[in-house]
Amino acid sequence: MHEVSIMQEAVRMVIETAKSSGASRVHGLRLRVGAMSGVVPDALRFAFDMVCRDTIAEGATLNIESVPAQCWCAACQVEFECEDFLNECPQCHELSGELRRGRELELASVEMS
Amino acid sequence: MCKECGCGIVGEVNIGGQPGSALSSPLLDAAEGSKHDHEGDHEHPHPHSHPHDHDHDTSGQIQSHQTVTVQKSLLEKNDRLAERNRGYFRAKGLLVLNVASSPGSGKTTFIRETAVALAKRLRLGVIVGDLATDHDAASLRAANIPVVQITTGTVCHLDAEMVSKAASQLNLDALNVLVIENVGNLVCPADYDLGEDLRVVLLSVTEGEDKPLKYPPMFHSANVAVIAKCDLAAAAGFDREKTLANLKRISHHARIFEVSAKTGQGMKEWIDFLVQAQESIQRQHG
């Protein structure tokens, strides 16, 4: 997907949060990344290493919290974990297009001082 | 730079004959105005709300480690601009299409014939993107269709900002339907919301029945899938059943049309669908 520009935005947000809190150093950040967000965590880490250089976030710990994708089967009235574009209900095997969780892409928190 | 494939150098995009960097649009100006700056004095209250806390001790400095909850989406600038485009177009009662496909699937011809077939019922305008040349715009203009050409230089997709600038060069009040013909590419455009109501993906009969399986993100995002150039099906040995099965598997939300823009086959169903869709938009906002 577009991990570099996602991390650019994340670092921009992190620095903004730190500065507005009067902090001079960022020690860590936590991202929540949905399994179906299209984003690859390894690529995020690689991008972060590049993007945080020469900023107050350089060397900060990057925590990536993976959010599993959950689909809804209207026929069975159940939620089930889904992994890719073909979301087959484990009970009735019908395809479900309704993703209830798993597309998250957010900056959850920042640790600073 | 394209986030997907890394191509493109900022500043090369040309919109309707003018450099994109020299252009603005009312939507972009509004978007810029909403930026805010956290630098500076913390003695005054913040005029805007943020889901994070501030430590306002007297010295204004945090000495010890502190974890601040942020919970903000990393949705990009393009998504925000796309939503603004969407609101703007809807307020004008416009039905907006984002037409994507491989290079050479027949987008321009399909759009031209759509406009011609709609002529008595709805007025259609086009924003078309290519790396170079204005051949597509010229072809559409020759059919009396209002059109703006975007030449991207090396950028492999259209984005919401380019569309916003191009749209300001069209008389949108004289249109009912706005068609955005994307750069021929089944990869990168999938990531870029333009503010459309319908994402229409073309697949011609010469491209192979497994195309949807090879490009899941684009086909999955499609609201409409059009099988194009059906007049060539026999010559191409087109496997219709397999193609439809693969489309239904990946593009399972999509409405499927099978057309030949050249002969007119299947175009009536497509036109009726567009008229209904535009009426539905008009009812909500007209």
Closest A-chain CA to B46:
A20
How far apart, in whole angstroms, are the C-alpha atoms of residue A35 and residue B64?
34
Closest A-chain CA to B67:
A111
Q: What is the pLDDT of residues B67-102, one digit of tens each?
A: 999 988 886 678 889 999 999 999 999 999 999 999
Measured CA angle at B43 (ends B39, B49), to 5 deg: 65
Residue A89 is encoded by which pair of tokens?
Answer: 């209900």
DSSP state of B143: T
Q: What is the pLDDT of residues A1-53, one digit of tens each?
A: 578 878 988 999 999 999 999 999 999 999 999 988 878 899 999 999 999 99
ipTM of the complex: 0.82
User: With contacts defined as CB-CB under 8 Å, which chain A residues touch B220?
Assistant: 85
| pLDDT (0 to 100) of residue B49 | 43
User: With contacts defined as CB-CB under 8 Å, which chain A residues touch B3?
Assistant: 1-2, 4-6
How far apart, in whole angstroms, are the C-alpha atoms of residue B63 and residue B57?
10
Contact between B70 and A21 using a beta-carbon 8 Å cutoff: no
Q: Does A17 touch chain B (CB under 8 A)?
A: yes
In this complex, which of B60, B61, B70 lies closest to A108 when CB atoms are compared? B70
Residue A11 is encoded by which pair of tokens?
Answer: 């670092």
Residue B186 is encoded by which pair of tokens?
Answer: 């089944």
Per-residue DSSP letters for B62-76? Answer: --S-EEEEEEEE---
| pLDDT (0 to 100) of residue A75 | 83
Mean pLDDT by 10 residues, chain B (286 residues): 60 83 75 43 41 46 79 80 95 96 97 95 96 94 96 90 96 97 93 95 97 92 97 97 94 93 97 95 79
Residue B8's identity, in one-letter code, is G
Per-residue DSSP letters for chain A? Answer: --HHHHHHHHHHHHHHHHHHTT-S-EEEEEEEEETTSS--HHHHHHHHHHHTTTSTTTT-EEEEEEE--EEEETTTTEEEE--SS--B-TTT--B--EEEE---EEEEEEEE-
User: With contacts defined as CB-CB under 8 Å, which chain A residues touch B52?
Assistant: 17, 20-21
Closest A-chain CA to B65:
A113
